Chain A
Amino acid sequence: MRRVLIGIVWFYFLVLLVGPILYLANQSFSQGIEAFWTEVTRPEALHGFTLTAEITVIVLVLNLFFGTMTALVLARQQFWGRGLVSGVIDLPFAVSPVIAGFMLILLFGPDTLLGTFFGQAGVKVLFALPAMILATLFVTFPFMVRELTPLLQTLGTEEEEAARTLGAGEWQVFLKVTLPALRWGLVYGATLTVARAIGEFGAVLVVSGNILLLTQTATLHIYQSYVDFNYVAANAVALTLLAVSFAILTVLEIAKARAETTVAEAGAQ
């Protein structure tokens, strides 16, 4: 029985994960390393990588700030509607990214109040970087908050109070006590955010318009190449993104182990 179970897990793992990855790698290099390199460095691909990197960095910075702030408020403050906010934060996990993108289209469409406002101000939101950032923010928002809130609750406020009795002002308390205590949670949340931002497709596809060399991210480029029967390009860019994601996951695993020991220590004291 035990062997059968282990066998099933291995089968599942090989067919669903290892098989596709090996096949992808094989196909990427089917025309030789040179072809791979050409595809990865062609302007459209490079633009896609750059755009994805830009969106990821901006989204990460915004999430680090707003995610930490939201987690602090949720963990420490009692206010009317706290339960509602806490529940809605998980919504992006439940809603399809395509729907998220669609909601942005409706919100910033040319006939809406917001759309008109930004239109008159000369700021292009839809089918441009702002909407792509908003869409990615929407789908990544829960990661930071969900990672930090329980960590903050476990840590409690005694260390912060101790810092205050030793003369530390509110900013010093935050920078010298709260933030260091959250560091592994921040790394963990940031890695998840980055991985999700790099891989985001649906929401970005809807709001970007997938305009070549303008709003085409790396994932959109893969999709476009595939649709255009340029399989080598699709495979090459996909493999590159996969390698990046794998590296991020490795960091994530290390961070997770560290975060767990931190929480265990907090619990043990």
Chain B
Amino acid sequence: MKIEVRGLTKKFGSGTAVGDVSFVVHEGELLGLLGPSGSGKTTVLRLIAGLEIPTAGDIFIDGKRVNDLTVQERNIGFVFQHYALFKHLTVFDNIAFGLKIKKWSRRDIEQRVQELLALMSLEGLGGRYPHQLSGGQRQRVAIARALAPRPAVLLMDEPFGAVDAKVRQELREWLIRLHTDLNVTSLFVTHDQEEAMEVSGRIIVFSKGKLEQAGSPADVYEEPATEFVARFIGSMNIVEGVVRREQVQVGSLEFPAPGFPDGQKLQVGFRPYYLKVAEDPTRYRQQAKLRHIYFLGVAYRLEIETADGLILRSRMNKEEFRRCHFTVGQAVSFAVTHFRILPQEGATAAIGSETGTPITGPLTP
């Protein structure tokens, strides 16, 4: 079922947790709400669930306005950050809870719970109590419990937040498979950009109660609409300079900025893998000193410092790194092969609009 929110606003006392947010979750989609803690993403989830009452705005589930429906009437499944399993009930009774409330017959309950136990790889654990389960198992019980009454939508608050890194990876893959199998419209909240990228079909980035950008993981990564998104999603070098003759000047670096007036301050961002570094000082035009080499497992990160004191990060795959013979402290040459002029602070994210068409482009070395 489709979820839609329009102009959703929530104020707590004098603070605004969510300010005028609108977006759509399409039928069968798995959408991630991404943002740092305190960005209002959990509040959005709770508003959709009916656990909080909006100050303004409308919520639609399956095309029907649900503002006036109680949480009980909204037919949603909610997975809490710390699972909130009923400690005094067994796994079976936890999953059966919603079915008993909805007065399913004993046989139907038995059948549905067994079906979910199998689906969640929890066979044989029906008689256990929550404290006898591992973190990953608890999380799956929480999802099973939320799915049992066949909700219209599934809402998950930091579903992987409370388990350790290895289990988290397994759970992510498992959740993607589960979503593919069940195809229930799902919305989940996370502060982990990597997780949002991997799990969601589409991402909505939040900051300070505002929607920053909505798009596919690739869109959000490659074309960040705001400086916040650029900084928050993945790693990005961000430098600031002043426009002179349609060029942003950042020390000895120059980035074309056609159409921008002289004297305007602009921020330019480029991903570390668009920063090419060579040990041959004549290979590229720009000069710098290699400050540090970080081994990242799958790749290397080089930190260089230009003569103007700019510190930039470059990412290099292992093969390329092995071909070069870097030593910390040596002189290197570098070039930026791809960059983006970032929308200014205060300006709205206007991809493709007339006023704020983002300028991206390769730079000739």
Where the two chains meet, the residues of A that have a C-beta atom closer than 8 Å to any C-beta of B are 158-159, 161-169, 172, 176-177, 180-181, 183, 262, 265-266, 268-269
Contacts and interface: CB of A to CB of B under 8 A. Distances in A.
Given A159-B86, A177-B86, A266-B87, A167 B80 contact: no
A158 B51 contact: no
B102 A167 contact: yes
B51 A265 contact: no
Contact of A262 (B49, B82, B84, B87): B87
Interface string B40-51: 000000000101
Contacts of A166: 97-98, 101, 145-146, 149
19 contacts: A158-B84, A161-B78, A163-B86, A163-B97, A163-B101, A164-B51, A165-B146, A166-B145, A167-B72, A167-B101, A167-B102, A169-B72, A180-B86, A180-B89, A181-B88, A265-B131, A268-B131, A269-B87, A269-B138
Given A167-B102, A265-B131, A269-B131, A161 B87 contact: no
Interface residues of B, number: 26
Interface in B181-219: none
Interface string B103-141: 000000000000000000000000000110000001000
B84 A162 contact: yes
Contacts of B101: 163, 166-168, 172
A169 B101 CA distance: 9
A181 B87 contact: yes
A269 B88 contact: no
B82 A269 contact: yes
A255 to B, nearest CB: 15
A166 B83 CA distance: 13
Contacts of B131: 265, 268-269
Given A162-B78, A269-B82, A167 B87 contact: no
Contacts of B97: 163, 166, 168, 176
B149 A161 contact: no
A170 to B, nearest CB: 9
Given A164-B72, A167-B149, A269 B98 contact: no
A264 to B, nearest CB: 9
A151 B131 CA distance: 17
A158 B145 CA distance: 14
B88 A158 contact: no
Nearest to B130: A269
A262 B129 CA distance: 12
Nearest to A164: B71
A177 to B, nearest CB: 6
Contact of A168 (B72, B80, B130): B72
Interface in B326-357: none
Contacts of A168: 72, 97, 101
B18 interface: no
B182 to A, nearest CB: 18
B75 to A, nearest CB: 8
Given A161-B78, A165-B146, 9 more contacts: A161-B71, A162-B85, A163-B86, A166-B98, A166-B149, A167-B101, A181-B87, A269-B87, A269-B130
Given A158-B82, A269-B83, A269-B130, A167 B98 contact: yes
A266 B78 CA distance: 20
A161 B80 contact: yes
B77 interface: yes
